[in-house]
Copies of this chain bind each other. A is one copy, B any other.
Amino acid sequence: MSTDRVSVPAPADWHVHLRQGEMSELIAPHVKQGGMSLAYVMPNLSPPVSNAEQAASYIKSLEALAPETKFLGTMYLGPELTPDEIRKAASLGIRGVKSYPRGVTTNSDSGIEDYDVYYPVFEAMEETGMVLNLHGEVPSDASKGICVLNAEARFLSHLEKIHARFPRLRIVLEHATTRAAVECVRRLGDTVGCTITPHHLALIVDDWAGRPINFCKPVAKTPDDRDALQEVIREGHPRFFLGSDSAPHPLASKYPSPASVGSTHDFVASCGCAAGIYTSAILLPLCATILESFGALDKLEAYVSANGRAFYGEPAPAGSEITLRRASSKIPDAFVHPKHEDKSDADATKLQVVPFWAGRELTWEIA
């Protein structure tokens, strides 16, 4: 028996990148378009959101762009964050602090290298109910045998240590990609949650090998790792929930070329493609399509709404259901800022964002 309609109360995305400037103008409204009522917004702007004032001001700017969406703010863990700053942020409604290991992802050059120095900050977060969001990778270091494939597994001892020291502090291991991470979160206490992105429920390493459009950090891992992510969502484990890690990059940054950077000489200096996958604008139908593909459609509400809202203490407002209907809908090839719509389709300089699974069919759409 197949279902033709599915309703979920006020879906929430507990990990999203909404950027600044023109990019933000383009994508902030996509949160609602993708079926989400709430967006928990990452602070890795350039420069990072490093104090309470900046976080509050950033949230205001997003509200101006998308008044119907509820935005919750975070700050970037760094030297500016003192216990006093945490208390100030809590009073301004800021909900979390994000920690990036140095250099592992977009705008993470200010990331931290050692957690002990932040214990007074974590104490203040525990007191005020603020959440610690961990990008769970250690930096690659070939001399220690660390590469992007084992960077997450090697990070887990940090998570365990912080949790042991601050058992009442709510901690989220963000965008888990490995069986090791899932098993670690399972065996920790109720204050430890874990986000899983829809793309990591779909991708393995083969999908990003030679396909920068599917390249993100942490990288998608092996079939066995993907199985572990699917299993924990299929069982509806209450501490695992949606954080899309949706991150827009201009196509010319995902696929650089001499034409987009100016010359072959400038191009070969990096040859690097931006890490990040964009899903905001299609998020809820994408989640439904992917969960159904591995027999977990009945856990859609747990994944996109109930579990995350319970963990963060943000119950769905009354009358906030979103309904999906079974219908084939094609994912757009690209989203383009209106200012750039008149440029040639192939113009390397225009601001366009190619979403995950661009051009493919989803089997659900928002009713």
A residues touching B (Cβ–Cβ < 8 Å)? 140, 142-143, 145-150, 204-206, 208-215, 219, 222-224, 226, 251-252, 255-260, 262-265, 267-269, 271-275, 333-334, 345-348, 352, 354, 358-359
* Pairwise interchain contact A273-B211, C-beta atoms closer than 8 A: yes
Output the least CB separation between A258 and chain B (Å).
Answer: 4
Q: Are B263 and A346 in contact (CB under 8 A)?
A: yes
The docked-state distance in angstroms from the alpha carbon of A354 to that of B354 is 26
Measured in the bound complex, the distance between the Cα atoms of B147 and A209 in whole Å is 10
* Residue pair B215, A210 in contact (C-beta under 8 Å): yes
Contacts of A226 in B (CB 8 A): 142
A326 to chain B, nearest CB (A): 24
Q: Which residue of B lies closest to A270 (CB)?
A: B211
Contact partner, A257, options B206, B215, B257, B264, Cβ 8 Å: B257
Q: What are 30 sample pairs from A and B whose C-beta atoms fall under 8 A apart?
A: A142-B204, A142-B223, A145-B222, A145-B224, A147-B205, A147-B222, A147-B223, A148-B206, A149-B149, A149-B205, A149-B222, A150-B222, A209-B275, A210-B272, A210-B273, A210-B274, A212-B273, A252-B257, A255-B267, A262-B346, A263-B345, A264-B334, A264-B345, A267-B333, A268-B333, A268-B358, A268-B359, A269-B359, A271-B354, A271-B358
Residue A258 contacts which of B146, B149, B346 (CB distance < 8 angstroms)? B346
- Cβ B142 vs Cβ A272 within 8 A: no
Additional A-B contact list (18), CB under 8 Å, known A140-B206, A255-B271: A142-B223, A145-B222, A145-B224, A146-B223, A148-B206, A149-B222, A210-B275, A212-B212, A213-B271, A251-B257, A255-B257, A257-B257, A257-B260, A263-B345, A264-B333, A265-B345, A271-B354, A271-B358
- Minimal beta-carbon separation of A131 from chain B (angstroms): 29
B148, B223, B265: the one contacting A209 at CB < 8 Å is B148
Nearest CB in chain B to that of A262: its residue: B346
* Min C-beta distance of A366 to chain B, whole Å: 22
CB distance from A48 to the nearest CB of B (A): 21
Nearest 4 Cβ contacts at the A-B interface: A258-B346, A268-B358, A213-B271, A142-B223
| Residues in B neighbouring A345, C-beta threshold 8 A | 258, 263-265
The closest CB in chain B to the CB of A145 belongs to B223
- CB closest residue in chain B, given A260: B257
The interface residues of chain B lying within 8 Å CB-to-CB of A358 are: 268, 271
A213 to B258, alpha carbons, bound, how many Å?
13
Chain B nearest CB from A278 CB (Å) reads 12
Please name all residues of chain B whose beta carbon is closer than 8 Å to the beta carbon of A224 when the two chains form the complex: 145
Interchain nearest-CB distance for A256 vs B (Å)? 7
Cα–Cα distance between A286 and B213 once the two chains are bound (Å): 31
Residue of B with least CB distance to A146: B223
Q: Which residues of B contact A212 (CB under 8 A)?
A: 210, 212, 271, 273
Q: What's the minimum C-beta distance from A117 to chain B, rounded to whole angstroms?
A: 27
For A271, list chain B residues within 8 Å (CB).
Answer: 211-214, 255, 354, 358
Contact B209 A215 (CB under 8 A): yes
Chain B residues whose C-beta falls within 8 Å of the C-beta of A269 in the assembled complex = 359
CA distance A333 to B359 in the complex (A): 34
Q: Give the residues in chain B near A257, CB-CB below 8 Å.
A: 251-252, 255, 257, 259-260, 346, 348
Q: Indicate whether A268 sits within 8 Å of B354 (C-beta atoms), given known contacts A146-B223, A256-B255.
A: yes
A219 and B209 contact, Cβ closer than 8 Å, known pairs A226-B142, A346-B264, A348-B259: yes
